[in-house]
């Protein structure tokens, strides 16, 4: 008899996460940015790498392989054949093709036949600051098929605009966008970065039941004069990690996630400066390993302001 899978036989109090994201040999984006933090927060994490690249695509060149939908499904079938397909959470990030996204939707259905209470945390990575970096046809697939099955959504401002058709020019617009997204499916929505007239903040929204308005809040975020890679992937992982520990307090989860991320970004910036590098000259690789204490035990330096 094969020995039991201990993460199934003796599950952790937190959960067992299937994370379908990109992978780079060097640097921290996608699964490289998400798996380690979730493990630090006590989760068993099984990564499926949607791509395997030498480095992220911001470098002059990169090499590697892309997983297609059929290959993804083969991995799922392999897990299922050995009764290994029980997960409490599914996490997805950048997805580059409609066919792969459609297979991810099949994965959601399959996982929910095994665990109907599966939490699906979706970062609908499509673009930023007005620039689309996935095929345009993905937008309608996210709108029509992904949103109805997602439990938590973490778009940025541009992605929230694409998904709702609403231009976000004010805090009120951001709150309204969250309500539109709730109506399509996810009970938890966090617009992770909204930039209006030079100020940066996130808006979180938790619709706890159909009859009442969502509980909404904002957290003002300081602008750091640099561009980092992998921060969106890390942020969504931290939201998954902390919101599961505080299921009824999305604002508390957001405070912890933002506090971790900001400490990590400040450390990254300081280390580049210490190395004599101009942090504004290119995108920076985050100091994930060096920031593990900030991930496991963040100092709460950012507070949520609840809307009435």
Residues with a catalytic annotation lie at 233
For the chain, strand residue ranges (E) read: 16-24, 44-53, 64-66, 89-92, 119-122, 127-128, 131-132, 152-153, 188-196, 199-206, 215-221, 228-229, 284-285, 305-306
Distances (CA, A) of 163 to 153, 166, 196, 274: 11, 8, 19, 41
Half-sphere exposure of 183 (CA within 13 A, CB side): 9
Q: Tell me the C-alpha distance between 24 and 31, whole Å.
A: 8
**CB contact set of 24 (below 8 Å; sequence gap of 6+):** 30, 32, 52, 53, 54, 55, 56
Asked if residues 250 and 206 have their Cβ atoms less than 8 Å apart, the reply is yes
Sign of the C-alpha dihedral, residues 243, 40, 202, 118?
A: negative
Residue 74: φ, ψ to 5° = -60, -40
Radius of gyration of the chain (CA): 19
- The candidate with the shortest Cα–Cα distance to 64, out of 52, 50, 56, is 52
């Amino acid at each position: 008899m094969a020995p039991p899978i201990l993460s199934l036989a003796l599950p952790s109090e937190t959960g067992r996460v299937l994370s379908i994201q990109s992978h780079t040999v060097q640097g921290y984006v996608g699964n490289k940015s998400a798996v380690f933090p979730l493990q630090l927060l006590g989760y068993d994490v099984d990564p499926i790498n949607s791509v395997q690249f030498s480095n992220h695509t911001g470098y002059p060149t990169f090499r590697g392989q892309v997983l297609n939908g059929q290959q993804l499904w083969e991995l799922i079938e392999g897990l299922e054949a050995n009764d290994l397909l029980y997960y409490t959470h599914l996490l997805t990030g950048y997805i580059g093709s409609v066919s792969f996204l459609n297979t991810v939707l099949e994965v959601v259905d399959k996982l929910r036949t095994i665990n109907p209470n599966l939490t699906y945390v979706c970062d609908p990575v499509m673009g930023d600051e007005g620039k689309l970096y996935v095929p345009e046809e993905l937008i309608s697939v996210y709108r029509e098929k992904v949103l109805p099955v997602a439990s938590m959504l973490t778009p940025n401002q541009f992605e929230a605009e694409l998904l709702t058709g609403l231009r976000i020019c004010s805090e009120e617009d951001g709150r309204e966008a969250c309500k539109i997204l709730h109506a399509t499916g996810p009970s938890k929505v966090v617009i992770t970065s909204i930039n209006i007239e030079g100020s940066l903040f996130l808006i979180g929204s938790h619709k706890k039941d159909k009859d009442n308005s969502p509980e909404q809040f904002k957290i003002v975020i300081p602008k750091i004069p640099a561009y980092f890679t992998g921060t969106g992937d890390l942020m969504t992982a931290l939201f998954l990690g902390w919101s599961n520990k505080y299921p009824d307090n999305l604002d508390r989860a957001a405070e912890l996630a933002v506090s971790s991320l900001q400490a990590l970004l400040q450390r990254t910036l300081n280390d580049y400066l210490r190395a004599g590098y101009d942090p504004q000259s290119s995108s920076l690789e985050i100091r994930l390993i060096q920031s593990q204490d900030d991930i496991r035990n963040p100092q709460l330096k950012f507070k949520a302001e609840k809307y009435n």
